[in-house]
Structure 1
């Protein structure tokens, strides 16, 4: 089976970290940056690296970027280059174009030009860290939409031995436990009879209000 191929444009902190993780997960990655030093640093880490101006359509065409499964625009602080690169990628017909936004306005422009997914790494990380700081049992926090969130909550000692039926988050709070991560493995879609133990991790989905109420009433 053919491995998915990714082109990552912009090899700063975010782009290089993303590229290395994709390689670790077993995918092929082409790294592109106009900075020769950044490209040299990543040349031994990635499948291929190229020094190139990503706003030049002919250059990206010659690199065969249109044949990649996904192109990620991870350009650091040059908003104009980020937008122009995204436009070129869309014009070339790249299947999936993902772009990093530096601000809400930048993100709106990227959405307008048809970028398939806009990510806000600094903003999202800030939100996640803030939630983790104020909620000691909160291990991770991912906003699925403006209304829905998925969180990982560590089970405190006082809930040890309770079943999902006894906790009953769906009936009492409207949120659902979709998985329990235990020492010996993960239970996906747990049944009412499944029991939680101290330091298990519950993966819960619901609206922000539902999860906040469940966390406040049950976990803290």
Structure 2
């Protein structure tokens, strides 16, 4: 079989968020065109991405010159400049780019981006702040939110279910969460089954609504 061909992606803005996104996409095998007005950032990324240009991506003519009409996906990572991010999204829409991810700094910014054509809007700073706050709970070890109040988390087994098989703990019925996997010290994660016995020091992988996971992790 031939190797999967990953589609090229344009990343506008090579700050912390845009730069991390661009480098990760490149490692995943995508062709990445990075663009920024800061010549220093362009130089920093010159050896890391498929191509890096110093360009004003709010300018439709500039995007046309770069051949962006051939791209299906773009990331607009210039959330700090609201006007520039909106203009960039508008220009990408005009060129027919169908999958546009845009960074927003607040709810109003997000609504504007969605109205002018962004297909996905993200709040990286807000998400990171929420993540840090949750991980300050010593029982929560890792946490991934999917943006619709649903999450997957890794946590220390709460005291009330230690010594019980999962079927007796009634985690789903009592707490609204599903235990997906269990990890014991020195062992790999295993899939949880109804007769899995929860032991002290076990780590659990659970899924459910964010509020329910937080309450479950806090059980004493």
TM-score, normalising length from structure 2?
0.85
How far 1:97 moved relative to its partner? Answer: 0.2
Unmatched tracts of structure 1, length 5 or more? none
Q: Deviations over 1:71-93 (max 9, x none)?
A: 00001521111000011111211
- The structural deviation recorded for 1:156 is 6.5
- In 2, the alpha carbon distance for the partners of 1:145 and 1:119 equals 9
Q: Residue in 2 aligned with 1:67?
A: 70
What are the Cα deviations for residues 128-174 of structure 1, in whole angstroms up to 9, with x where unaligned?
101111x1121233333454333221336996664322332112112
CA distance in 2, matches of 1:64, 1:162: 60
Distance in 2, Cα, partners of 1:181 & 1:20: 31
Residues in 1 aligned to 2:73 and 2:81: alpha-carbon distance in whole angstroms: 21
Q: Supply the RMSD in Å over aligned alpha carbons.
A: 2.5
How far the C-alpha of 1:201 sits from its partner, in A, is 3.9
Quote the Cα distance in structure 1 between the aligned partners of 2:170 and 2:14: 47
* Match of residue 37, structure 1, among 30, 34, 40: 40
Q: 1:173 aligns with which of 169, 175, 180?
A: 175
What secondary structure, in the 3-state scheme, does the structure 2 residue paired with 1:44 have?
Answer: coil
Aligned to 1:47: 50
Structure 2 residue matching 1:72: 3-state secondary structure? strand
- 2:23 corresponds to which residue? 20
Contact map agreement 1:159 1:198 (CA 8 A) in 2: no
Count the aligned residue pairs. Answer: 216
Question: Judging changes above 3 Å, is the alpha-carbon distance between structure 1 residues 198 and 28 closer, same or farther for their aligned structure 2 residues?
Answer: farther
Looking at structure 2, the residues matched to 137 and 160 of structure 1 have their Cα atoms a distance apart, in angstroms, of 14
- Choose which of 110, 113, 118 in structure 1 pairs with 2:116: 113
SS at match of 2:78: coil
Q: What residue ranges of structure 2 are gaps of 5+ in the alignment?
A: none
User: What's the counterpart of residue 91 of structure 2?
Assistant: 88
Secondary structure in 1 matching 2:141 = strand
Residue 41 and residue 209 in structure 1: after superposition, are their counterparts in 2 closer, same or farther (change >3 A)?
closer
